[in-house]
């Protein structure tokens, strides 16, 4: 093991600078929802952040909130060229790349297999898997060398659907199970230079959309989630989480001091796997 990996990066250890002081992070889909919560939390912890995001309006909102503390790249996570631009931007602006957060995704709105028209099934599969799986793999491939130079890490957003049923329909659930395989294989391939982990949050009200082929491009998950009291029934902890509730594990997994021994794990933070106690109060 090299000294570089054995010793925390000097920027991480900057006194009084937060848990991620000086760290350079790239977050895909960082313009809203969980991605935005991760960006805001990383900045609060002293990191420099680059965002790859399709929506110009969301990037403008980030600029208004954070100014030049965040570098913006408008693009598509499934595009090699756009990922290369994002990595190059992070390296140029902040001297390198320490953490790649693959977060952009699509949901299938829990659409059961038999409710999907055959005409839309094939294209819907391609759209969803392109973003949820290909986007992660392309981002990993493009960022890997920069991360190896800094002894960095990759963090992927999965879901309770990667571990349990009822977190989506068959397309979304299959894509998140594929994400578990991506984490496991890349943790093996990129060790000991790059740590590779994932966070599996539960349901939350965000702007997450679905495949255009299934008529879900202009529909947000926030429009279909049950009322707060019903959403709490999915959690043994009696919670209806918001995106900000899930940001802390991304800080833990990005920090060399706090997770230098951790790779190949899916950090289940959903509380979905523990059943509610019978007759537990709502």
Residues annotated as catalytic are 172
d(CA 156, CA 145) in angstroms, rounded, equals: 17
* Contact (CB, 8 A) for 197 and 183: yes
Report DSSP state, residue 205: -
117: which 2 tokens? 């028209």
Question: How long, in residues, is the chain?
Answer: 282
Nearest to 200 by CA among 266, 134, 109, 104: 266
Supply the angle between the helices 170-190 and 118-129 in degrees, to the nearest 10: 30
User: Sign of dihedral through CA atoms 140, 142, 144, 146?
Assistant: negative
Report DSSP state, residue 227: P
134: which 2 tokens? 């290909």
**Who contacts 90 (Cβ-Cβ below 8 Å, separation ≥6)?**
24, 25, 26, 48, 50, 71, 96, 97, 146
The strand pair at 195-200 and 153-157 is best described as parallel
Nearest to 29 by CA among 95, 96, 107: 107
Give counts: helices (H), strands (E), the chain: 10, 7
């Amino acid at each position: 093991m090299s000294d570089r990996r054995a010793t925390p990066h000097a920027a991480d250890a900057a006194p009084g600078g937060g848990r991620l002081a000086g760290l350079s992070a790239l977050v895909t889909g960082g313009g809203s929802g969980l991605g935005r919560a991760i960006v805001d939390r990383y900045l609060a912890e002293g990191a420099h952040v680059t965002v790859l995001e399709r929506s110009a309006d969301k990037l403008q909102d980030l600029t208004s909130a954070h100014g030049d503390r965040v570098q913006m790249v408008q693009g598509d996570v499934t595009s090699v060229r756009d990922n290369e631009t994002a990595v190059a931007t992070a390296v140029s602006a902040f001297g390198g790349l320490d953490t790649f957060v693959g977060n952009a995704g699509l949901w299938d709105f829990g659409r059961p297999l038999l409710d999907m028209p055959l005409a839309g099934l094939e294209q819907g599969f391609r759209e969803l898997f392109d973003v949820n799986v290909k986007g992660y793999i392309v981002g990993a491939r493009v960022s890997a060398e920069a991360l190896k130079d800094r002894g960095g890490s990759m963090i992927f957003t999965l879901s309770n659907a990667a571990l349990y049923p009822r977190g989506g329909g068959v397309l979304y659930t299959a894509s998140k199970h594929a994400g578990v395989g991506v984490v496991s294989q890349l943790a093996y391939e990129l060790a000991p230079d790059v740590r590779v982990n994932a966070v599996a949050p539960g349901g939350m009200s965000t702007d997450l959309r679905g495949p255009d082929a299934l008529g879900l491009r202009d529909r947000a998950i926030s429009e279909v989630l049950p009322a707060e009291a019903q959403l709490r029934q999915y959690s043994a902890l009696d919670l209806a989480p918001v995106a900000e509730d899930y940001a802390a594990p991304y800080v833990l997994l990005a920090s060399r001091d706090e997770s230098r021994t951790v790779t190949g794990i899916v950090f289940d933070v959903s509380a979905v796997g523990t059943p509610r106690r019978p007759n537990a109060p709502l």
